[in-house]
Amino acid sequence: MASFSGFIRKSPSARLRCFLEVRGVDVPEAFDWTSEGRGTALVRSIEELLEELPDRQLDVIKAELELLASLSDDNGMTGAVQVCAGQGIDLEGLEGVQDVLLMLAAQHPRMIDRVNVQASLMRRHGGKQWARFQFPDDGKPWVLDQQSAREGFLKDTVEILDLPDHRKREADWYQSIRIHPVTGEETKLTQATFYIEEHAHSELAFGEESLERQTVQKVLELGVACDPSERIVEICAKGGKKLRDKYLQSFSENFAPESKAPVEIPRRDVLLDTLRQASEFVTEPADGIERVEVSSLSFRSSDGGFVRVEKRAEDETLYQFLERRFGAASPLRAGGWQILAATLRIILAATGAKSSRTLTVTLSAPNTTTLPNKTETDRQFVFDLLERWQLLAPPPTCADLFEVIE
């Protein structure tokens, strides 16, 4: 997550000035946008400019800039591209994520909320709060644009959350374009974010004279992404599998009433045979990876035997150890041995104030990984690496999922 000061330093001067002026900040003509090479002096000058504002306006603008700073990463940029492509907003010629976010905040403020949702959806992709479902390819129409269906799903959502019917609720429907990172293929999605007024919380806050206890209405969010052409629905929400299944049932009844029940798309199979030989684990400088190692392999033999081998050393890899100790009898070379699981250690190099750290992920046949237990950022990072290293199988097709139950 980028810092407020880092966001300011990397923002194009003209765009930052436009943003501030739209927010009612009077920027003097003599203001120096290039002081000390756009370093700390510029940030300090911007902060001094904002300090002259009324307290409430100062808080609002700084909070908005903090939000934009939190979105100024790869997920934020990808989210902006997807949302803007679906809305016909041209980003050609803009100078990076800071330029894009400031433009949207000034000219299309509602898009920032959508970019925030989109970035959050990508971070949760593959996690415990996310699931993908496949409907049968039966040619039956969906009614995603039908107002009564949208209202019905929103009403069901309040009931599923066991909230009183008077709770406020709102849905934001929009189109987005998802671009495949490898093939470049574009997929047009219909997405919706549902905002539901949660149970009230009592919190301390400063009133006109002193501290007061105030009632605050929290907001719950539910994200839905639909690919009508492939008949796929993604649901991202807190509450676990039981709640997601209820959302799915409501989606089916309201938007796909003529179709048979969908099935959850299982997690992609892991391709452990890729690790039968030492891999190069191709990385890029932007990954910040110092090295990658296979620290353990588990095998099962055709006659019921089980072997787990673990090796962590600077001077010898696990593969070299197996070759030295077992030679042709190594489970990697001898017939009748299947790889059941593997553990990878991804050592990230130290950068600036951050010290070196290690990401550990275990892959187990047929389709289990420890990625759901990672933070949202780490999970997406490692997921992309596993795809690059060809350790994940392609997602199953509709025919793969429904041939068993037909």
The number of helix segments (H) and strand segments (E) in the chain equals: 12, 11
Cβ contacts of residue 134 below 8 Å, gap of 6+?
Answer: 231, 232, 262, 263, 264, 265, 396, 398, 401, 402
Question: What's the pLDDT tens digit per position in 181-216?
Answer: 656 788 999 999 999 998 878 888 887 778 888 887
Q: What integer pLDDT is reported at residue 37 of this predicted model? A: 45
What is the separation of C-alpha 162 from the centre of its chain, rounded to a whole number of angstroms?
27
Q: How far is residue 392's CA from residue 274's CA, in Å, rounded to a whole number?
A: 10
Where residue 231 falls (left for φ over 0; alpha for ψ -120 to 50; beta otherwise) is: left
Q: Which residues of 103-112 are buried (b: 16+ CB within 10 A; e: fewer)?
A: bbbbeeeebb
Q: Which amino acid is at 202?
A: S
Question: What's the pLDDT tens digit per position in 283-326?
Answer: 999 899 999 999 999 999 988 889 999 987 778 999 999 999 99
List, for the chain, all residue ranges whose pLDDT scores fall below the cut of 50: 1, 36-38, 404-406
Q: Which amino acid is at 325?
A: R
